[in-house]
Amino acid sequence: MNTFRFAFGCLLLGSAGAMAQTGSSFTNFIRQVQLPSGVQWDASVAASGSQQSSLAIDPGGARFELWTVQSLSGATPLLLDSKYVGTYVPIAQVAIRSADPYVTIPRTRVDKPFYVDYSVSGLLSDPSAPAAAKSVNFLRHIQSYGAGGTGIGIDKTQATLFNTSSISSNVTATLTFPVTALVATPQTKVRGEERFSFFSLDDYQSPASQLAAQFIQIWPVADGSISGVTMNQKIRFAMPQVSLTMNDVYPSSTTYAQIYQGPAVLGTVGTVVPGSSLVVNETIPQSRVLTLTNWDRIFDADGQWTMELVTSTPFGVERLAYVTFNLDRTIQVNGNVTTID
β-pairing verdict for 78-85 and 114-121:
unpaired
CA angle (180, 310, 272) in 5-degree steps: 155
Q: Which amino acid is at 262?
A: G
DSSP secondary structure string for all residues of 186-242: SGGG--EEEEEEEEEPP-SSS---EEEEEEEEEEPPPEEEEESS-TT-EE-SSPPPE
How confident is the model over 19-46, as pLDDT tens digits?
455 555 678 888 888 877 888 888 888 7
Locate the domains of the chain by residue range.
3-219, 223-327
Q: Determine contact, residues 312/267, Cβ cutoff 8 Å.
A: no
Average pLDDT, the chain: 86
Q: Residue 156: is its pLDDT beyond 60?
A: yes
Q: Determine contact, residues 25/70, Cβ cutoff 8 Å.
A: yes
Instruction: Tell me yes or no: is domain 223-327 CATH 2.20.25.
Output: no
Q: What is the pLDDT of residue 35?
A: 77
How confident is the model over 209-233, as pLDDT tens digits?
889 999 999 999 999 999 999 999 9
Q: What is the pLDDT of residue 256?
A: 98
Please name every residue paired with 247 in a beta bridge, in sequence order, or none if there are none. Answer: 223
**CB neighbour list of residue 142: distance below 8 Å, 6 or more residues apart:** 159, 160, 162, 180, 181, 182, 192, 193, 194, 195
Q: What is the pLDDT of residue 72?
A: 64
